[in-house]
Amino acid sequence: MIEVSDIVKSYMIDGQALHAVNHASFTVRKGEIVSIIGHSGSGKTTLLSLIGGLTRPDSGSVLCDGTDIWRLDDNSRSHFRNRNMSFIYQFASLIPTLTALENILLPTAFGDFSGDVRAYAEALIERVGLKEKIRAYPSHLSGGQQRRIAIARAFINRPSVVLADEPTGDLDEETEQDIIRLFQEMNRELETTFIIVTHTREIAAQAARQLRMSNGILTDAA
């Protein structure tokens, strides 16, 4: 379902090429949960943004359900992303002037969403344990609570793929487990595919398959 082929992204820094992602290839089947573990600076975020259609690769391709996302024009790629994928960003990404519920509903403003999206948003906020914060603004939420709202938002479009960049980064251990459990439930209920980036071994180990990123090079984690 996701096929990454020989993908490369380099940055020029002081006239030197830095190979953030260096010829990475891998395939993720529909409904699989894959983790990518690696130290800070190893290229994990860059890799996710290449897969998620946010950063254009220098070369290589990304196929998602047969669609070569980097061959689409910008509009089509945004549309494709909105329909099929969700990104959980490493750092806070909520809109400060919108409430928790409005933040979760935000993606529905950019596409044709069917059904009762508001009821679904409320169900999601309940699933991340923040029902009582439905009308709260991000500045009135803790870092971990903001993170959980961003996670709820990632499910509003019922994505087939979730790309999660250190999704449990600033959460306590218990909440961290709740989030992983939620991912596993969504995976079972909706066959959602997950690619989860982490620097924690315990999180990586809960995925069915583990990959490792090291200096831009992706390998199977043995």
- Token pair belonging to 153: 């938002």
How many Cα atoms are found within 13 Å in the side-chain-facing hemisphere of 137?
5
Q: Is 11 in the site for ligand ADP (CB under 6 A)?
A: yes
Residue of the chain from 7, 28, 32, 42 that contacts ligand ADP (CB under 6 A): 42
Bridge pairing between strands 161-165 and 85-88: parallel
Answer yes or no: are the C-beta atoms of 197 and 191 closer than 8 Å. Answer: no
Residue closer to Mg ion, measured from CB, 131 or 201: 201
User: How many residues bind ligand ADP, per CB under 6 A?
Assistant: 11
Residue closer to ligand ADP, measured from CB, 11 or 110: 11
Residue closer to ligand ADP, measured from CB, 38 or 138: 38
Footprint (CB under 5 A) of Mg ion, residues 38-97: 44-45
CA distance 41 to 200: 14
Q: Is 38 in the site for ligand ADP (CB under 6 A)?
A: yes
Residue 139, binding choice from Mg ion, ligand ADP, none, Cβ under 5 to 8 Å by partner class:
none
Measured CA distances, 157 to 120, 148, 199, 219 (Å): 10, 16, 27, 31
Stretches 35-43, 61-69, 122-130, 180-188: which one binds ligand ADP (CB under 6 A)?
A: 35-43
Minimum distance of ligand ADP from residue 210's CB (angstroms): 15
Footprint (CB under 6 A) of ligand ADP, residues 44-63: 44-46
β-sheet bridge partners, residue 209: 34
- Ranges assigned E (strand) in 42-111: 59-64, 67-68, 85-88
Environment class of 195 (CB within 10 Å of its CB; exposed 0-12, middle 13-18, buried 19+): buried
Residues forming the site for Mg ion (CB under 5 A): 44-45
Q: Which residues bind ligand ADP (CB under 6 A)?
A: 11, 18, 20, 38, 40-46
